[in-house]
Structure 1
Amino acid sequence: MIVILNNGGQYVHRIQRSLKYLDVPAKIIPNSTTLEEIIADSEIKGIILSGGPDITKATNCENIALNSELPVLGICLGHQLISKAYGGEVSRADSEEYASIKIYVKEENDLFNGVPSEFTAWASHMDEVKVIPDCFEVLAYSDICGIESIKHKEKSIYGVQFHPEVSHTEYGDVILKNFCKKCGFEFEE
Structure 2
Amino acid sequence: MKRVILLFLAIIVSVACFSLSKPIALLQNDSDYPNGGSPIENALKKLGVDYVVYRTFLGEFPERGSYSALIISGGNNMAAYFSNSGEPKKPTSLITDAEVPVLGICMGFQLIGRIYGSSLVVLEERGWRKLKIMKDDILLTGIPEEFFAWENHLFSLKDLPKGFELLVVNETGSIQMIKHKKEYIYGVQFHPEKGDNENFNHGYMVLLNFLTLVEHLDNQSTD
TM-score of Structure 1 vs Structure 2, range by shorter chain = 0.7 to 0.9
Cα deviation, 1:71-94, whole Å, max 9, x if unaligned, reads 11000000000111111222222x
Pairwise CA distance, 1:177: 1.4
Question: What's the counterpart of residue 174 of structure 2?
Answer: 146
Higher helix share: 2
Q: 170, 173, 181: which is aligned to 2:204? A: 173
Pairwise CA distance, 1:185: 5.1
Matched position secondary structure for 1:51: strand
Structure 1 vs Structure 2 CA RMSD: 2.2
Cα deviation, 1:10-37, whole Å, max 9, x if unaligned, reads 58721122122222112221223445x1
Pairwise CA distance, 1:57: 4.1
Q: 51, 66, 73: which is aligned to 2:96? A: 66
Question: What's the counterpart of residue 84 of structure 1?
Answer: 114
Q: 40, 48, 68: which is aligned to 1:45? A: 68
Larger Rg: 2
Pairs within 5 Å for 1:1-189: 1-8=23-30, 13-31=38-56, 32-34=59-61, 37-39=63-65, 41=66, 44-58=67-81, 61-93=91-123, 96-168=124-196, 170-184=201-215
Whole-Å separation in 2 of the counterparts to 1:162 and 1:9: 19
Higher strand share: 1
Query: What TM-score results when the alignment is normalised by the length of structure 1?
Result: 0.85
Cα deviation, 1:144-164, whole Å, max 9, x if unaligned, reads 352000000000000000000
Gaps of 5+ in 2: 1-22, 83-89, 218-223
Q: Percent identity?
A: 34
Letter paired with 1:2: I
Gaps of 5+ in 1: none
Q: How many residues of Structure 1 are paired with residues of Structure 2 in the alignment?
A: 180
Q: 1:159/1:61 Cα in 2 relative to 1: closer, same or farther (>3 Å)?
A: farther
Pairwise CA distance, 1:108: 2.0
Matched position secondary structure for 2:79: helix
